[in-house]
Amino acid sequence: MILKPFDLTPPPAGDLRRVAGHAAESQMAFYLQRDFAKDPHLFVLNNLRIVDPDQPEFDGAPGVCQVDHLVMHRWGVFIVESKSVTDEVSIRDDGHGGDEWTRRFRGREQGFESPIQQARRQGEFLRTLLDRHRESLRSRAPVGLRQVSKVLRGSEHGGYKNMPIQVIVAISASGKIRRVNRWCEATEPFCDFVVKADNVCENIRAEFRRHKSASNPLKTPVDQYGVWGMSGEDLQRTADFLVARHTAPVEPRVVPATPSAPLSTPTPAPQSLPPLGPPSCKACASPDLDAMSGRYGYYWKCRACGVNTGMPRICSVCGAAHSRAAPVNIAKERDAYFRKCSACGIDEKIWTQPLR
C-alpha cells in the first residue's frame, strides 16, 4: 500500500538535470502505485527525506537521508534508486570489490557516483535511526527469550541491526544497461538488482516471496532469507514513524538587491504539462483504458463509457509541445507506449497495455 505520496512537484523547467531526475522518480512511483497500492503486505514511501541530528555531516550539520522509493515488508526493506538514463549506462568492477558507473549521452561518456553505494549509505542511515528507537517501535521478545534478547541486544525489544536492506537501481525504461566484463550485482547475503524501471515490481514480488517462504518455522534456513523478521504491528509502527519523521526540503529564496526591489521567484513550470500518474478517461475519469491507434495517432479508448482520449504529445520533462520543428511523438514497443521528445532527447514510458 502507498502510505503517503510525498511531494513530487516538478522542479523549475530550466534545470534539465533535475527535471529529468524528477521524470524518472515519477515514472517509478507510477509503477509502484500500479502494483502495490492495494497490497497490504508491502508499504511504499516515495521521496522520503529524513533529517537526523544524531548522525551529523562532516561539517556538523544535521545528517540528511533522501530515498527515492522505500518499499517495506515484514522481513526487510527495498531501497529503489531511480536513475534517468536516455542512452546507455555502463557498470564495471572497480578492481576492489566495488562498482564503477559511467553514462553515455549524445555520444559522450562520463562517470557518476555509484547508485548502489549511495543506496547502501542511505540504508545504514535508516538502520541506525530505527535501531535507536527500537524500544518504541518493536514488540518485546517472547517471555522465554527476553533475558537472551537483553544480553544480546541490550534490550528486550527486537532491533534493526540485522534487517535485510536490498538495493534496486531502476534505470529509465528507455535506457540501456551495459554490464562490462559480465559484471553482476551482489547476491550475498541478499540479492541486489540493476534493472529497467518497469521490471522493478516483478523483482520485489519475487524477493518478497523468497523472504516469506524462508521465514516458515518448519523449514531449516539455507541462507539469510527469512531469518530476521518483525510482526505486522511492528511494520506498521516502523512505517508510521518514518512518515512522521519525513521533512520536506526548504527551497532557497533569492534576496532582493535593494529593499524596494521585488523578490525574485523561480520560473514556474509550464502549466500545460501532462498530469503525472496513471492516465484516465477525459469524460468519466475511469482508469480502465485500452490503447488504440487511428488516423491521428495513438489514443486511449475508455472501456467504461467508450470515449476516446488522445495520448498527450507534450513532454513532461522540458514542456515542449509537438511541432514540425521539434516533434514529440508516441511510439509503441510491444505492449508499451513511449513519448519521445526531440527537444530534450527524453523517452518517457507512459502506458503499458494490461493483459485482458
If you write DSSP's letter for every residue of 63-132 in order, what string do you get?
Answer: EEEEEEEEEEETTEEEEEEEE--SSEEEEEE-SSS-EEEEEEETTEEEEE--HHHHHHHHHHHHHHHHHH
What's the rounded mean pLDDT across residues 196-211? 95
Does the pLDDT value for residue 261 go beyond 50?
no
Res. 160 pLDDT band, cuts 50 70 90 = very high
Res. 144 pLDDT band, cuts 50 70 90 = low
What are the tens digits of pLDDT across the range 163-184?
Answer: 999 999 999 888 899 999 989 9
d(CA 307, CA 343): 31
pTM of the model: 0.68
> How high does pLDDT run on average in the chain?
82
Burial class of 70 by CB neighbour count within 10 A (0 to 12, 13 to 18, 19+): buried
Burial class of 25 by CB neighbour count within 10 A (0 to 12, 13 to 18, 19+): buried
Q: Regarding beta strands 43-52 and 2-5, do their DSSP bridges make them parallel or antiparallel, or are they unpaired?
A: parallel
Q: Which amino acid is at 57?
A: E
| Cα distance between the two ends of the chain | 24
pLDDT of residue 214: 92
CB within 8 A of 295, min separation 6: which ones? Answer: none
d(CA 255, CA 60): 26
pLDDT of residue 219: 76
pLDDT of residue 12: 58
